[in-house]
Amino acid sequence: MNRARRAWFALGAFLAFALPASSAFAGHAASRLTLGPGAMAWRDAGVGTIRGLTIGPIESSLHPGKGYGSRAFARTTEEARRLGANWVSLTAFGRIADLHATGIDPTFEAPFAENRRAVGRAIAEAHRRGLRVLLVPHLWVETGEWRGEVDPGTDEGWKRWAESYRRHVLAWARVAESEGAEMFAVGIELRSFATGVRAPLLSSIIADVRRTYHGLLTYAANWDDVFDTVVLGDLDVIGLNAFFPLDTHPGADLAALEAGGRDIAERMRTLAETWQKPVLFTEMGYTTRTDAAIEPWIWPDTMKSVVVDQRAQAEAYEALLSPLVDAPWFAGFFVWRIYADPDDMSQEAEWGFSPRGKEAELVVRDAFAARWGADGAWFSPGGFATRRATGIGLF
């Protein structure tokens, strides 16, 4: 990459850090954002597109003092702000034994009360840096199976599951409410719970969350079942984990990936217009390997004989995001993911999802610096918009 282009990236990061927070979010996060009706509701709210990073917890009790709310986490939020992020997503895990479980253990590496305090400190630290927060209760399946296929088996089993899930989500909704998180996800990738005959159970839980938490609500559907998710009408923002394959053929070039990205953008437009709600990528990302855009959901730990390829990861980011830049119905995205300790390299392999220190980080930096279709009047037309008009960079 030439020196002039690097200078533009650096300028974008500086401007992102220097811009004042949206007036709609000024002061403590207790000032709530509300959305009007329609697919363009995020744009019409005038608070700016979400330029987000998921900050993962340190998933090991062997690394004390490095997780949410730690000094290490403070360095990560500083990096996020300098990169140009204006939101972060935090993940609060509960555990289930397997797909037939009817109960959720709130302990994850540490007792719930300890995790609750850590997440509270993390939200406060993000707010101190001028970052808004999406809090996402997640499920860790001990067998390694996919949470979207949870099936307690019987009507009674599902009733017990729903009550346990209600307790799990409401516990974290109370944290989001008390700490002033701006958005809360009522679940993530719960296909068997959100797309079929059991969906009324989840709708009932969402209604309870509404009575507990007074910020914006979303749900993180999987990329391939969001059109079948029947609880979208209960939400403020349509969320989905956007691990879309951009092509199915090994060796696909950037033009082929961009064609895949344009097709995805058109499908997302249809989704927004069908439900008359803005669309948010609650997670998006690609691993650092050859043919990163093929089956991007494959977990790095299960991969063998991987060829590390930073360019493939960067091109997949570019191809997915660039067709969405001008979409007024697109609320934004959260990159999956970096970690609570920026110096901890033990959380995933070199070919993992994190863009930190890779070519994909430059794409993220440029995307954060671009002017998006859902940006409101607060957005500085003399800053990023001028830069975008030059045609320098990826957006």
The number of beta carbons lying within 10 Å of the beta carbon of residue 34 is 11
Does the pLDDT of residue 110 top 80, yes or no? yes
Contact of 104 with 95, CB cutoff 8 Å: yes
What pLDDT, on the 0 to 100 scale, is given for residue 377? 62
Nearest Cα residue to 171 out of 133, 132, 209: 209
What pLDDT, on the 0 to 100 scale, is given for residue 62? 81
What pLDDT, on the 0 to 100 scale, is given for residue 60? 82
DSSP secondary structure letters along 252-270: --HHHHHHHHHHHHHHHHH
pLDDT digits (tens, 9 = 90+) for 342-354: 888 888 999 999 9
Contact of 215 with 24, CB cutoff 8 Å: no
Strands (E), 142-215: 183-188
End-to-end CA distance of the chain: 15
What pLDDT, on the 0 to 100 scale, is given for residue 12? 40
What pLDDT, on the 0 to 100 scale, is given for residue 58? 86
Does the pLDDT of residue 237 top 80, yes or no? yes
Q: Which of 21-35, 281-295, 341-355, 363-377 is predicted least confidently? A: 21-35
Q: Which of 59-73, 78-92, 201-215 is predicted least confidently? A: 59-73
Q: How many whole angstroms separate alpha carbon 22 and alpha carbon 19?
A: 9
Does the pLDDT of residue 187 top 70, yes or no? yes
pLDDT, averaged across the chain: 89
Q: Which of 25-39, 142-156, 166-180, 327-341 is predicted least confidently? A: 25-39
Contact of 195 with 225, CB cutoff 8 Å: yes
Could you give phi then psi for residue 359, rounded to 5 degrees?
Answer: -60, -35
Contact of 121 with 133, CB cutoff 8 Å: no
Does the pLDDT of residue 217 top 50, yes or no? yes
Q: How confident is the model at residue 360 (pLDDT cuts 50, 70, 90)?
A: very high
Q: What's the mean pLDDT in 296-306?
A: 92
Does the pLDDT of residue 2 top 80, yes or no? no
pLDDT digits (tens, 9 = 90+) for 6-62: 333 343 443 333 333 433 333 334 458 899 999 999 999 999 999 999 999 988 888
User: What's the distance, CA 303 to chain centroid?
Assistant: 23
What pLDDT, on the 0 to 100 scale, is given for residue 65? 87
Does the pLDDT of residue 385 top 80, yes or no? no
Contact of 91 with 138, CB cutoff 8 Å: yes
What pLDDT, on the 0 to 100 scale, is given for residue 22? 38
Does the pLDDT of residue 387 top 70, yes or no? no
What pLDDT, on the 0 to 100 scale, is given for residue 205? 98
Contact of 321 with 333, CB cutoff 8 Å: yes
What pLDDT, on the 0 to 100 scale, is given for residue 346? 86
What pLDDT, on the 0 to 100 scale, is given for residue 5? 37
Q: How many whole angstroms separate alpha carbon 65 and alpha carbon 393?
A: 38
157 CB contacts (<8 Å, ≥6 apart)?
Answer: 100, 102
Contact of 147 with 190, CB cutoff 8 Å: yes
What pLDDT, on the 0 to 100 scale, is given for residue 380? 55
Does the pLDDT of residue 379 top 80, yes or no? no
What pLDDT, on the 0 to 100 scale, is given for residue 63? 84
